[in-house]
């Protein structure tokens, strides 16, 4: 996504001061956007001396980056850490696929799309389910009261992101078919603008954008992920890197777990930190941090099985070109 797209056509629309400021907040959240295709690919000699991590401007990785503990730990091995920011999971995994980064974190759906596209990635860890951290929202005064009311309506979402599966499941639970709604594939900033001006009827979105929609424009939650999806965060690596540097992957996992342990005990501190980093107000980040799930664990067979259900659902809906075996994206599988 080009940075210019984030201007969301402000010059073509008469916007109120309040809406304009809301858009600026979202722009601030995105920070410096990057495109995987524009990033430098791995060059000979960098694999053992530099760890390249892709992150989004929310979650545990950004806190780890700020604390600097990983850099201190890896310095003893002669390894430096390079951080690259991405606007969302699909773009981050594109970077992993083309060799621009070695490690990163995304939600449930992006690895499915990436694996279906032939990306040589491996799952190395995950955080606990966080079903309340993503939702399907409507305007406060919308006549839509249930998910079933979305039949024939336009729903904004980021294609290939974690909320893609949320929307699929909520539609199914409401007795509808995916074809009963019109998905409008937009990145979060564009989706919020479309949502505010009424170009779409609902918006499937994740934290902290979800929390911002609640606190800033008083969006009403139609349904969140409870009893529908797990909404786990996954840590993934390029297979060659993970296979060649298991000690580095172990170090990252342990440092992430330490950050999560601290965050679980200090949610207010997490909110204050993220408020500074993202530019979002403290109330928004307190709401988001309060429903965040903490704790990194190795990916189990059960979790891989849950991911396979997502892959199967996407294949049935022809959202991915062919079915995949998620277990192939583990270190135990042969490359």
Q: Rounded CA gap, 167 and 316, in Å?
A: 15
Question: Which residue range(s) make up the domain with 145?
Answer: 26-30+131-224
Same domain as 162, residue 82: no
Q: What is the pLDDT of residue 295?
A: 87
Same domain as 136, residue 101: no
Same domain as 62, residue 45: yes
Q: What is the pLDDT of residue 270?
A: 85
Q: What is the pLDDT of residue 335?
A: 61
Question: 196, 224, 252: which is the final residue of a domain?
Answer: 224
Spatial strand order in the sheet of 103-106: 80-85, 50-55, 103-106, 234-238, 121-126
Q: What is the pLDDT of residue 62?
A: 86
Same domain as 170, residue 47: no
**Is residue 11, in this structure, part of any structural domain at all?**
no
Question: 177, 203, 224: which is the final residue of a domain?
Answer: 224
Same domain as 276, residue 242: yes
Same domain as 184, residue 51: no
Same domain as 256, residue 110: yes
Structural domains counted in the chain? 2
CA angle 299, 74, 297 (to 5 degrees): 15
Q: What is the pLDDT of residue 30?
A: 32
Q: What is the pLDDT of residue 81?
A: 97
Q: What is the pLDDT of residue 14?
A: 33
Q: What is the pLDDT of residue 267?
A: 84
**Is residue 2, in this structure, part of any structural domain at all?**
no
pTM of the prediction?
0.79
Same domain as 212, residue 257: no
**Is residue 158, in this structure, part of any structural domain at all?**
yes
Question: 202, 224, 246: which is the final residue of a domain?
Answer: 224
**Is residue 219, in this structure, part of any structural domain at all?**
yes
Q: What is the pLDDT of residue 334?
A: 65
Regions in the chain scoring below 50 on pLDDT: 1-47
Same domain as 150, residue 276: no
**Is residue 17, in this structure, part of any structural domain at all?**
no
Q: Give the domain CATH number at 165.
A: 3.40.190.10
Same domain as 175, residue 140: yes
Same domain as 49, residue 94: yes
**Is residue 16, in this structure, part of any structural domain at all?**
no
Same domain as 70, residue 50: yes
Q: What is the pLDDT of residue 162?
A: 86
Q: What is the pLDDT of residue 12?
A: 38
């Amino acid at each position: 996504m080009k940075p210019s797209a984030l201007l969301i056509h402000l010059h073509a629309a008469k916007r109120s001061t309040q809406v304009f400021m809301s858009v600026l907040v979202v722009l601030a959240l995105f920070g410096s956007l990057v495109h995987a295709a524009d990033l430098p690919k791995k060059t000979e000699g960098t694999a053992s001396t530099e760890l390249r991590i892709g992150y989004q401007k929310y979650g545990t990785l950004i806190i780890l980056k700020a604390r600097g503990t990983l850099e201190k730990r890896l310095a003893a091995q002669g390894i430096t850490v390079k951080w690259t920011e991405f606007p969302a999971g699909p773009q981050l995994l594109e970077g992993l696929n083309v060799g621009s980064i070695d490690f990163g974190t995304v939600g449930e759906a992006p690895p499915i799309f990436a694996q279906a596209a032939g990306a040589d990635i491996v799952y190395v860890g995950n955080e606990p389910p966080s079903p309340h951290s993503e939702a399907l929202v409507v305007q406060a005064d919308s006549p839509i009261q249930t998910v079933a009311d979305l039949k024939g309506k336009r729903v904004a979402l980021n294609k290939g992101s974690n909320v893609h599966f949320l929307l699929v499941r909520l539609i199914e639970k409401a007795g509808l078919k995916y074809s009963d709604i019109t998905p409008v594939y937009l990145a979060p900033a564009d989706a919020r603008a479309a949502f505010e001006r009424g170009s779409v009827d609902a918006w499937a979105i994740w934290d902290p954008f979800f929390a911002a929609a609640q606190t800033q424009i008083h969006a009403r939650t139609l349904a969140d992920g409870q009893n529908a999806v797990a909404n786990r965060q996954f840590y993934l690596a390029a297979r060659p890197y993970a296979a060649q540097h298991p000690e580095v992957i172990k170090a990252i996992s342990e440092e992430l777990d330490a950050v999560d342990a601290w965050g679980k005990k200090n949610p207010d501190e997490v909110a204050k930190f993220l408020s500074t980093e993202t530019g979002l107000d403290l109330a928004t980040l307190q709401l988001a941090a309060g429903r965040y799930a903490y704790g990194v664990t190795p990916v189990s067979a059960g979790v891989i099985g849950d991911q396979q259900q997502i892959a199967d659902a996407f294949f049935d809906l022809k959202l991915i070109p062919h079915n995949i075996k998620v277990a192939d994206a583990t270190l135990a599988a042969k490359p």
